[in-house]
Amino acid sequence: MDIIKVFANNVKKYRTEIGLSQEAFAEKAGLHRTYISAIEREKRSIALDNVQKIADALEIETYLLFVEVK
């Protein structure tokens, strides 16, 4: 299974669960809105520091973003 796919799905899942738009979430994470969009569309391989920023903004443990949900 591709980690980028798992990551993308999880970001989308947790983001919608807390009811944030891509835009609002991007701002909370300190990242760009088009970047979040690209991530969820699996268009980019993201770096670790931003992985942490995203996990922080989602208010979850970092490793959860890599656990495949089926």
Partner DNA sequence: ATGTGACTTGGAGTCCGTG
Partner DNA sequence: TCACGGACTCCAAGTCACA
Residues that bind DNA (CB under 7 A): 21-24, 30-35, 37-38, 40-41, 44-47, 49-50
Could you count the other beta carbons within 10 Å of the beta carbon of residue 36? 24
**Residues 6+ away with beta carbon under 8 Å from 23:** 33
**CA–centroid distance for 16 within its chain:** 11
The rounded distance, in Å, linking the Cα atoms of 49 and 52 is: 5
**Segment interacting with a copy of itself (CB under 8 A) among 17-25, 29-37, 39-47:** 39-47
CA dist., res. 64 & res. 17, Å (int) = 14
Q: Pick one of a copy of itself, DNA, none as the site partner of residue 9 (Cβ within 5 to 8 A by kind).
A: none
According to the binding rule CB under 8 A, does residue 60 interact with a copy of itself? no
69 near a copy of itself, judged by CB under 8 A? no
List of residues contacting a copy of itself (CB under 8 A): 2-4, 6-7, 45-49, 51-52, 55, 62-64, 66-67
